[in-house]
Structure 1
Amino acid sequence: MIMRIGIVILPDQRWAESERRWRQVDEWGFDHAWTYDHLGWRDLVDGPWFDSMTTLTAAAATTRRIRLGTLVASPNFRHPAAFARQVTALDDVSGGRALLGLGAGGIGFDAAVLGGETLPPRQRVDRFTEFVELLDLVLREDGTTWRGDWFTAVDARNNPGCVQTPRVPFVVAANGPRSMRLAIRYGQGWVTTGPTTDDLEVWWEGVADLTARLDKSLASVGREPGSLDRHLLLDSAPVFSLRSADFFAEQVGRAAALGFTDVITHWPRASSWYAGEEAVLVDVASRLPELRRLTD
């Protein structure tokens, strides 16, 4: 198995600057590139921020081979019937390179900006379950009518459908048991952030526990462990993965040992979240073939 290595490019730069980054990661040979699907994110809500699907569509036009995805789209401000049209368009423009990271949605700016109620965790998962079920249905079938507790669709169309068949792959974010079951039922991939902690070793212990729980859940429904790609968001750990190229390689090796098929880092920022040096990213990019072989 060869490890796939991805990177997040936050949508916090004007396209004149951002385009260079998307084109560069494609040329360097990263396997997938992602952007956050938020209307605003944490304290960066007060700075520049751009729409994810528009950004990804522009990235599709400026890249040639890299896969492109949301990390992660949520029902906080999206309706499956409308979102399906955007997903289909992205898959078409990219020539079948779209990935769809999906999550339940948090309680920050996205949950409040439209004036709706901030939901407790159980209800967020209820809504997420319906969101994934309906999105899957609309992307697969034409003329979907649905009436649920959270969403309604009347004769929703998907013509011409995705380039990828039967639809764009879902990479479902899940740490809890219900979301994990959702990932197993609908996902071609699973993505985790691991636990929240300030201790790097405790974080890795938590990640190992989550992978064991995923294995048990897969076994309970008779799904083969290798049938679900496993993505780890390395920068959810308390130490930025691009602290150095050697540290990044160490983290990739640890992920591989736990059975992850994919790891994801972030383009370094000048300050605040994911602060680091672009020179480290350049060094990592030059070592991608070596890093992929850490799983051999």
Structure 2
Amino acid sequence: MRFGITILPEYRWPEAAPRWRRAEELGFDHAWTYDHLTWSGLQDAPWFGTTPTLTAAALVTSTIKLGTFVTSPNFRHPLALTRDILAIDDVSNGRFLCGVGSGGSIDATIQGGEALSPRQKVDRFAEFVVLLDELLTTDHVDFKGEYFETRNGRTLPGCVQQPRVPFIMAANGPRSLKLATKYGAGWLTTGGESDDYESWLGSVAELSRRLDDVVEDRPFDRYLSVDSVHYCLSSAEAFEDVVGRAAELGFTDVITHWPRAEGVYAGSEDVLENVAADVIPRWR
């Protein structure tokens, strides 16, 4: 089992930098930040840009992988995003993970325009991933789709990681899961919507079975965001329980959130320290 932690982009850098450094010191394998213009849980909170945050995080760490949780087509064009990805991958010396998904509801309309239907969102996501893959592996890209276009898209110098940075793809439906297994190095899920822990675990199990039907028994990394129903760093015991459940379902990676002082993901950094010292080493 590998372990990740999400640090929300809400802190001014003198407060944020120690958290990113500490995530590495505690032995986490990967650290993430949300890639949204705003987030439904913290619309009135401070919020900073994702790619500058990850670039700065790369400069205060040296081994931990860094990722977007998750990038979507809601406000990203693949060509402009390619330049950001190339920069973070370069500055981090090949430690960048590109989490990608079809996009949530708030980012979808915050800059204007009509909300897409679920089918349209998947159509756009497929086009986004196909073009992003081509841009990260090819120079001089001409592409014209329904949602995106590039004319002689230039993409030098290419990624540090070859043939490109890994895509960790959020997907639940059949089309998105097929896309994830074709273009992704791993699959990411938050599970289904539920207010009950056991029901949520049931939804995670069902989604994992759907992936089994698509991936056809070949090795494929599976990432589970474990804080969807309740905050799993409420205690070391709660965290270890969800890690065990994830392992039983075949997940290779779990992702939690850095404890906040209040509100969503409120918790104690003492619990985080205990988990890093005692729980994580046992599951490795």
Same fold (TM over 0.5): yes
Counterpart of 2:225 (choices 229, 233, 251) is 233
Shift of 1:255: 0.5
1:269 counterpart = 2:260: yes
Within the alignment, does 1:279 sit opposite 2:270 as a pair?
yes
Q: Which secondary structure does the structure 2 equivalent of 1:191 belong to? A: strand
Q: CA deviation at 1:287?
A: 2.1
Q: What are the superposed Cα offsets for residues 180-199 of structure 1, whole Å, 9 maximum, x if unpaired?
A: 01101100010011110011
1:119-268 alignment runs, 5 A limit: 119-219=116-216, 224-226=217-219, 228-236=220-228, 238-268=229-259
Choose 209-218 or 62-71, whichever is displaced more. Answer: 209-218
C-alpha deviation, 1:217, in angstroms: 1.0
- State whether residues 229 and 260 of structure 1, in contact with CA within 8 Å, keep that contact through their aligned partners in structure 2: yes
Deviation, 1:47, is 1.6
Is 2:51 aligned against 1:59?
Answer: no
CA deviations over 1:194-230 (Å, ceiling 9, x no partner)? 11001111111111111111011112xxxx431x210
Q: Distance in 1 between matches of 2:85 and 2:63?
A: 18
CA contact (8 A) 1:175 1:192 kept: yes
Residues 105 and 271 from structure 1, CA distance in 2 versus in 1: closer, same or farther, beyond 3 angstroms?
same
For the residue of structure 2 that corresponds to 1:73, the secondary structure is coil
Shift, 1:149, TM fit: 0.3
Deviation at 1:283, TM superposition (A): 0.9
Q: Number of residue pairs matched?
A: 284
Change in CA separation of 1:119 and 1:127 when aligned onto 2, cut-off 3 Å: same
3-state SS of the aligned residue for 1:105? coil
* 1:141 CA displacement: 0.5
Query: Quick one: which amino acid aligns to residue 232 of structure 2?
Result: S
Cα separation, 2, equivalents of 1:55 and 1:287: 29
RMSD: 1.0
Structure 1: 4+ residue segments shifted above 4 A: none
Maintained 8 Å contact 1:57/1:90: yes
Deviation of residue 111 (structure 1)? 1.5
- The answer to whether the 8 Å contact 1:5/1:292 transfers is no
Q: What percent of counterpart residues are identical?
A: 56
Q: Distance in 2 between matches of 1:19 and 1:89?
A: 19
In structure 2, what residue type is equivalent to 1:225?
R
TM-score normalized with structure 2 length:
0.98
Alignment-mate amino acid for residue 89 of structure 2: D
**Take 2:203 and 2:46, find their aligned partners in 1: how far apart are those partners?**
34
Post-superposition Cα deviations, 1:112-161, rounded to whole Å, max 9, x if no partner, equal: 22112111211111111100000000001011100000000011111110
Residues 288 and 61 (structure 1), Cα distance of their counterparts in 2 relative to 1, 3 Å cut: farther
Q: What amino acid is aligned across from residue 99 of structure 2 in structure 1?
A: G
2:5 partner SS: strand
Shift of 1:43: 4.1
Alignment equivalent of 2:84, drawn from 66, 69, 86: 86
Please give the secondary structure, in 2, of the residue aligned with 1:72: coil
Aligned amino acid, residue 84 of structure 1: T
Q: How far apart are 1:250 and its partner, in Å?
A: 1.2
Alpha-carbon distance between aligned partners in 1 of 2:157 and 2:148, rounded to the nearest angstrom = 23
